């Protein structure tokens, strides 16, 4: 999975596997994997003017992560 850098407070990078619908997010506190993420959610995260806020509101609060690191 290709990780793309994110320039946002608390976020470092994100990667998405469209086939498996898995999102991996690298934060200041660790790396987390989210399942059943639609391509639209990933697109919105990467194009958001405030990706940190979008991540907290639309992903972190809505989906249960699995900690990778």
Domain boundaries, the chain: 4-67
Give the pLDDT score at 5.
96
What are the tens digits of pLDDT across the range 23-69? 999 999 999 999 999 999 999 999 999 999 999 999 999 999 999 98
Residue 40 makes CB contacts below 8 A (sequence gap 6+) with none
Give the pLDDT score at 69.
86
Give the pLDDT score at 7.
85
Higher pLDDT, 9 or 20: 20
For the cut 90, the answer to whether the pLDDT of residue 9 exceeds it is: no
Give the pLDDT score at 23.
98
């Amino acid at each position: 999975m290709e990780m793309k850098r994110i320039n946002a407070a608390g976020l470092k990078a994100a990667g998405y596997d469209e086939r498996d619908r898995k999102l991996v997010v690298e934060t200041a506190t660790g790396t987390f994997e989210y399942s059943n993420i639609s391509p639209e959610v990933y697109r919105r995260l990467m194009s958001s003017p405030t990706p940190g806020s979008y991540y907290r509101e639309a992903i972190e609060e809505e989906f249960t992560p699995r900690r990778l690191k």
